[in-house]
Structure 1
Amino acid sequence: MSRSGKSRPPLVADKRYDAKPSGKAGKAAKPAAKGKGSAKSKAAARKKVPARKPARARNPIVAFFGGLFSWIFRLIWGFAWRFTAVLVMLIGLGVGYYYASLPDARELVDGRTRGSVTLLDREGQVFAWRGDQFGGVITADTVSPHLKNAVIATEDKRFYRHFGISPRGIAGAMRINMREGRSPLSGHGGSTITQQTAKLLCFGTPYDPASGQTEAEYEAECRRGTIARKVKEAIYAMAMEAKYTKDEILTIYLNRAYLGAGSRGFEAASQRYFGKSANEVNAAEAAMLAGLLTAPSRYAPTNNLQRSQDRASVIVGLMEEQGYLTTAQAEDARTHPAQLSEAAQARAGGYFADWVMDSGPSFLTRDTTEDVIIRTTFDQRIQTAAEEALQYVFEEKVREGSKAEAAIVIMSADGAVRGMVGGRKTKVSGAFNRATQALRQTGSAFKPFVYAAALDLGYSPNDLILDAPLTINIPGSGPWSPKNYSRKFYGEVTLTESLAKSLNTSTVRLSEAVGRENVATVARDFGIENELAPGPAIALGTSETTLIQMTGAYAGILNGGRSVEPYGIMELRLQGDDTPISGQDGGMGERVISETAAGELVYMMNKVIEEGTGQRAKLGDRPVAGKTGTSQAARDAWFIGFSADYVAGVWMGYDDNTPLSGVTGGGLPAEIWRETMLRVHEGLPIRPLPMIEPSAPARAPDVAGQQRGRKPANTAEQVILEVLGTILGRN
């Protein structure tokens, strides 16, 4: 049967596996056309798709809390990032504000509101400082590498890696605080060097004296550690990090940090403690200076050298741990700890420096706003001699536990003060100075002025004076009868013997003969500025004065009879200037008594030591002169005397006026004087005293003529004799 249409394709079995194409046949193979496929292929495809399981119903409680927590999280997250964004913006504004207000770094290195005073001795060597010292600008580049490393190791080992604050440091400080039983924000603060510098700058607020705050109150306010101030400190620190380089920040810190003993900055502290620049300190000295940052007063080597050295040893350990020192270098620093300079050991010049600061012009000493350098008359060798002598006598010859005090002044004949001890505690500053501030009765140490007045009026050391009972009627007080210390009377004695034995009745007779007003004039002209007691007892030293005034008056006797103004300032100039603002060379003034009278008085006072009450003050072959003094009830004991080179005065007594027990001027004060002068004159050639030995024989006193306008007084006996002479003359 014939077919119509297209022939049907032959039947072919289904391919079960794809044959690997090879050769041309493989290349010619084409993918099956999309869209139309066989029914079997579509059915197979449907079989391969797994059937979807029906959704499982959620627990409504879990769904509720899950949704709630999700909502809370989204709420917190939204608040947190917005709050953080605002906080970052505020911090940025704060940093920008402080950044704009920060001056050039060089303007911030010296933050003092007042100046300082540097005191030089007579040789030009520094021996004391007053006020906040600023030794000059040092930089992170010029300072000793040991010092730079010590500061970083101690205060902020991540200094060169943080941005002004150290989160790790704060966390560590909080952990230490809690471990030590404090609140997280009490105690250690974790402050970086940048933060500490911000605090030193008081966040850019300078001290204003007109504010009513003291400088101490201002600094205390700047150091307050409230939360608000900590935040402000952190912002200011970040502004500094943005404005300055790390080394500029470190330079400000090195120059502004307070390091004890009035030292502002490491240069001043290095000069203060070691007598050298901060550029030159070694590892041990650097460690000691860095150790002061924690507690400047406590660790100041002038307060307790051993404690300061122990602290330095800890710093050396930190430097070793952080790789700034090798093991050998660290061991060497521990074995050879830093030592104070001689000037530092003197503890700021003690009483002498205080006196100079009080005696100089206030605008260039106590209240100076400039850095002032004062060259003084001070002699460190003589000062040491006086301190050692005082210590020796009190240790060897004064009973243990005694509260008695003593003072010493040593000066040249022109009034230049060479040494001063104002009390038994010699290593002090700002203490009560018994040499210049204590007003005490002089006792018989005043008697040389009586004899000076007599000699100036024409008396001779060999003139006779009666030592016998004497009664003087004092208006308003009644009769007064002086007695000798020995309770004896010696009849007619020469003026020399009367002074040598310190006789009272003969001295009062002489004073009455020459006139109390003349005696008072001589004493005042020689420098006794305090009011002198009226009445006949003036001759026995019932008036009060200071040791420095009495010593200056005796210097007038040594120099030939001219007045003396004790002085300590030789030259005063501003730091950096070579031209002095003022200067002084000598303190002698007008003549008080004639040179002859002065020479004769020196002779008489020499006899006081050779034959009289002052024999304990002998200096062997060296000729000396002086006078003992013991006030009423032995409340004060004095010895003042001189060699051809120096004048020295010694006072001893109790601050509360308790009478001394068994002490007179010829006892312990004379021994202190002797021990002092032996040390002072060590190595000096022996020189003769400027004394005039009388050649006239002893005679009865007869005041003839007038000198310097002084007239002999008319005593009651003289008035009666004159009246009788007038009557007899008429007859």
Structure 2
Amino acid sequence: MGSTGRRPPPLVADRRYPKKTARKAQPSGRKPRTRSGGGSGGGRRGGRTRRGNPLFRAISGLFRGLFRSLLGTAVRLALLGVFIIGCGVFYFQQQLPEMTALLDGRNRGSVTLLDRDGKVFAWRGEQFGGQITATTVAPALKNAVVATEDRRFYRHFGISPRGIAGAIRINLAEGRGPLSGNGGSTITQQTAKLLCLGVPYDSKTWKTEAAYEADCRRTTLGRKIKEALYAMAMEVKYTKDEILTIYLNRAYLGAGTRGFEAAAQRYFGKSANQVNVSEAAMLAGLLKAPTTYAPTNNLQRSRDRANLIIGLMQDQGYITPKQAAIAKANPAKLSEAAESRAGGYFADWVMGAGPDFLTRDTTEDVIIRTTFDARIQKAAEDALKEVFETKVKDGSKAEAAIIVMSADGAVRAMVGGRQTAVGGFNRATMALRQTGSSFKPFVYAAALDLGYTPNATVVDEPYTINVPGSGPYSPDNYDHKFRGRVTLTEALQHSLNIPAVKVSEAVGRENVRRIAHDFGLQADLAAGPALALGASESTLINMTGAYAGILNGGSSVTPYGLTELRLKGDDTPLMGQEGGMGERVISERAAQSLVYMMWRAVEAGTGHRAKLADRQVAGKTGTTSAARDAWFIGFSADYVAGVWMGYDDNTPLKGVTGGGLPAEIWHEAMVRVHEGVPPRPLPMLLPEEAPPPVAGEPGYPGQSAGPGTGGWGQQQPAQDNRDDGGNLAENILRSVLGAFGARN
């Protein structure tokens, strides 16, 4: 084929879609809009619409990717956290026992002390009044606790994020650490802490229970996390009312009480199921600071706290404004036992009367019945307060102690110091002090028991004894005067020192020492002639018990306070009375004669300030050297009482003798003790009138009381005086047969 010289036309596919219709012509006067860059070769850039700055698009894309990555990580971490929390909650939930096993978590038991009439007057140990429940407790108490401690208790799951955040904010605002001070804990968390997060007490880990509880209360971040897990586990295991029941039974509320039942009985003498609004508010107020707000420490402060709780109850709708006004107008009142706070020193003393495993260290609940008399205790306390407020200068550090007992040694009241403190130093039972002239009755008891009467005589004159190793010993009277021949009654009545030493030397110091020991003065008694003047030491309770032996007719006495000890709920006692009257020490005649001599000491002697207007009383003063101790001990036909006064550091008293303030304290106490008690005469034997001495015979002034005795008559040469009691049999024989100037 020939060629025409032209290329053939390119092959073109048929159009797939129909050709669009041509655009309408533009109105005249306007140029048609063309693509940038001119004709068809304008390029790709001019053919697409711009979609933003590429740098911005890159950054935004980066952030979108990072966000998606972080969100995914957070979700995964949250799921992991939920899983871990769930595992922790499940673990603790599996460890929790039944609710009833957690209500009494005490490691120690309690001791309840009853007075002579069977009424409670004191508690020791950890008191648990019995189990109560949130459904049976007084509604006012349940509402007061929730309103005070956790108003959202029935709505949260064991922890309250809002409460924790608020607590942290308050702590930081007050300059404390975020976990110091307010904790924002729910009732469930507080219960978890009371349970020590399930960790039991172990004596090998903690030296004391106090250390264990302090460790349980520690606040650290790790412990707060564990506490939250434990609280949520409790919410899974128990109902809300069961958690509240555990809390109501285990919370510490001051004065050794565990749980609201024990506290209600301790402070109000009633069950927690019976308290009214004002009482419930006071109990709930103790949760913040049990010791600070305990009504037995400061009743008004406790009432002020209760009024705040009443306001919270009103604000949260638990009581009406009218009920709140009534509660505030009628504040809670303490029971008689709680208000008096009587017998603190007595209770401590009685706790030592039984074995430790049933008293101080008991793990059981124990009931102890005692000889305590609340009326007599108040009489003694009021007397001490009266004298110190009216007759002792303000700021004085002088102390005093009082014992009141019956003639058989049953202790009715005990004041161990001016301030009552549980576990404090008890000057009535613990303080060993020199007895001074209050010891002299036992010197005369030895002479009377040998057959002599109160009218026997002895010469009051200068007197010296040679004491081997010490040299001459020359006793002197308090007023440095000598009265010549005096009866034994006059010698004791005026508390003359020289006659007392002479009588002691004549009857034999060992005889005096034996009688004093048998009457209950069991501390080391002085070996020298100063024995007769009370150079030995004793406690007030033992001295008072020895005087009780004189009152009861001459039998020894062991002071006692415990009459019965049994476990709570048992009727059979584990132990009974330990103490009381023992064996005879001196004859009844000698005892009754001594009562007469001591009655004269009060009627017309050094103890006249102790005299009572409506009944006979007998007693003896005592003042030690430099007046470091002052005593008055005496008795009526019904009660024996002893008073000691002095300084704890042995500082000498200024202007105080046994016949002064101690006698006045004794008088004030015994006036109150005997209110309503019919007067009875003392069991005393009045001596017959002694015939006058005959000139030239023993007993006549200026004559020796006996040949070679040098004891009860006039002074003999010093070398003739026994310095150590000599041969006891010879000394007693010679002294008794020839020493007295007048004998009936």
TM-score normalised by the chain length of structure 2: 0.87
Match in the other structure for 2:382: 388
Confirm whether residue 359 of structure 1 aligns to residue 353 of structure 2. Answer: yes
Match in the other structure for 2:118: 124
Match in the other structure for 1:89: 83
Which structure 1 segments of 5+ residues have no match? 1-38, 45-52, 704-709, 723-731
Once residues 706 and 316 of structure 2 are traced to their aligned partners in structure 1, the CA distance between those partners, rounded to angstroms, is 90
Which structure 2 segments of 5+ residues have no match? 1-17, 23-46, 694-698, 700-704, 708-725, 739-744
Match in the other structure for 1:151: 145
SS at match of 1:209: coil
Match in the other structure for 1:225: 219
Residue 205 of structure 2 is aligned with which of 196, 200, 211? 211
Confirm whether residue 551 of structure 1 aligns to residue 544 of structure 2. Answer: yes
Match in the other structure for 1:476: 469
SS at match of 2:466: strand
How far is the alpha carbon of 1:172 from its aligned partner? 2.4
- Contact (CA 8 Å) 2:343, 2:414: kept in 1 or not? no
Match in the other structure for 1:438: 431
Match in the other structure for 2:696: none
Match in the other structure for 1:297: 291
Match in the other structure for 1:17: none
How far is the alpha carbon of 1:363 from its aligned partner? 1.3
Confirm whether residue 661 of structure 1 aligns to residue 633 of structure 2. Answer: no
Once residues 260 and 586 of structure 1 are traced to their aligned partners in structure 2, the CA distance between those partners, rounded to angstroms, is 34
Q: Aligned pairs, how many?
A: 672
Deviates more, 1:522-531 or 1:166-175: 166-175
Confirm whether residue 620 of structure 1 aligns to residue 613 of structure 2. Answer: yes
How far is the alpha carbon of 1:298 from its aligned partner? 1.2
Once residues 605 and 186 of structure 1 are traced to their aligned partners in structure 2, the CA distance between those partners, rounded to angstroms, is 66
Once residues 370 and 204 of structure 1 are traced to their aligned partners in structure 2, the CA distance between those partners, rounded to angstroms, is 22
- Contact (CA 8 Å) 1:200, 1:256: kept in 2 or not? yes
User: Deviations along 1:267-304, whole A, 9 cap, x unmatched?
Assistant: 11111111111111111111111111111111111111
Match in the other structure for 1:164: 158
User: Deviations along 1:432-490, whole A, 9 cap, x unmatched?
Assistant: 11111111111110000001111111111111112111100000000011111121111
How far is the alpha carbon of 1:345 from its aligned partner? 2.1
The AA in structure 2 aligned to 1:465 is V
SS at match of 1:210: coil
Match in the other structure for 1:33: none
Question: Alignment RMSD, CA only?
Answer: 2.4
Once residues 175 and 603 of structure 2 are traced to their aligned partners in structure 1, the CA distance between those partners, rounded to angstroms, is 73
- Contact (CA 8 Å) 2:206, 2:212: kept in 1 or not? no
Change in 2 beyond 3 A, CA 1:184/1:505? closer
Match in the other structure for 2:570: 577
Change in 2 beyond 3 A, CA 1:86/1:321? same
How far is the alpha carbon of 1:577 from its aligned partner? 1.1
Once residues 247 and 550 of structure 1 are traced to their aligned partners in structure 2, the CA distance between those partners, rounded to angstroms, is 58
The AA in structure 2 aligned to 1:544 is E
Confirm whether residue 341 of structure 1 aligns to residue 335 of structure 2. Answer: yes
Where do 4+ consecutive residues of structure 1 move more than 6 Å? none
Match in the other structure for 2:102: 108
How far is the alpha carbon of 1:713 from its aligned partner? 5.2
Residue 254 of structure 2 is aligned with which of 252, 256, 260? 260
Deviates more, 1:567-576 or 1:585-594: 585-594
Once residues 434 and 214 of structure 1 are traced to their aligned partners in structure 2, the CA distance between those partners, rounded to angstroms, is 28
- Contact (CA 8 Å) 1:347, 1:428: kept in 2 or not? no
Match in the other structure for 2:590: 597
User: Deviations along 1:80-129, whole A, 9 cap, x unmatched?
Assistant: 11111111111111111111111010000111111111111111111111
Match in the other structure for 2:324: 330
Match in the other structure for 2:371: 377
How far is the alpha carbon of 1:654 from its aligned partner? 1.1
TM-score normalised by the chain length of structure 1: 0.89
The AA in structure 1 aligned to 2:79 is A
The AA in structure 2 aligned to 1:412 is S
> Identity of counterpart residues, as a percentage?
70
Residue 404 of structure 1 is aligned with which of 376, 398, 404? 398
- Contact (CA 8 Å) 2:507, 2:732: kept in 1 or not? no
The AA in structure 1 aligned to 2:649 is D
Change in 2 beyond 3 A, CA 1:624/1:152? same
Match in the other structure for 2:5: none
Once residues 64 and 238 of structure 2 are traced to their aligned partners in structure 1, the CA distance between those partners, rounded to angstroms, is 46
Once residues 505 and 713 of structure 1 are traced to their aligned partners in structure 2, the CA distance between those partners, rounded to angstroms, is 23
User: Deviations along 1:590-644, whole A, 9 cap, x unmatched?
Assistant: 1111111111111111111112111111101301111011111111111000000
Residue 456 of structure 2 is aligned with which of 463, 481, 489? 463
How far is the alpha carbon of 1:718 from its aligned partner? 4.6
Once residues 184 and 630 of structure 1 are traced to their aligned partners in structure 2, the CA distance between those partners, rounded to angstroms, is 62
Once residues 342 and 506 of structure 2 are traced to their aligned partners in structure 1, the CA distance between those partners, rounded to angstroms, is 50
Once residues 67 and 184 of structure 1 are traced to their aligned partners in structure 2, the CA distance between those partners, rounded to angstroms, is 40
Match in the other structure for 1:20: none
User: Deviations along 1:371-400, whole A, 9 cap, x unmatched?
Assistant: 111111110000000011111111111222
Once residues 120 and 130 of structure 2 are traced to their aligned partners in structure 1, the CA distance between those partners, rounded to angstroms, is 16
Once residues 246 and 628 of structure 2 are traced to their aligned partners in structure 1, the CA distance between those partners, rounded to angstroms, is 56
How far is the alpha carbon of 1:360 from its aligned partner? 2.4
